[in-house]
Structure formats: C-alpha cells, structure tokens
Amino acid sequence: QSLILLYLSWYIRNLFYRLMTTSLSQQHYSVMVRGR
C-alpha cells in the first residue's frame, strides 16, 4: 500500500511539474512572438 502512495505522490509531482513547465514555456513563447 505504501508503494501505491509513493507512486501516486511521484505521479502527481510529475504532472504538476509538467504543467508548470508547459505554462512557463507558453508564456516565454508568447513574449518572444510579441517582441518580434
């Protein structure tokens, strides 16, 4: 059971990290396009 909790925590952390990185990259891309 503890293994399942560990996997869940890792999965949630990975998902959150991916969401953060995608949002940051989108903001950076929009800034680059606007500056052009």
Tens digit of each residue's pLDDT (9 = 90 or more) over 8-21 = 999 999 999 998 88
Please state, rounded to an integer, the average pLDDT across all residues of the chain. Answer: 86
What's at 24, amino acid-wise? L
Give the Cα separation of 22 and 12 in Å (integer): 15
> Cα separation of 22 and 9, whole Å?
20
**Could you tell me how many helices (H) and strands (E) the chain has, helices first?**
1, 0
Binned at pLDDT 50, 70 and 90, residue 36 comes out as low
CA distance 33 to 25: 12
Give residue 5's pLDDT.
Answer: 96
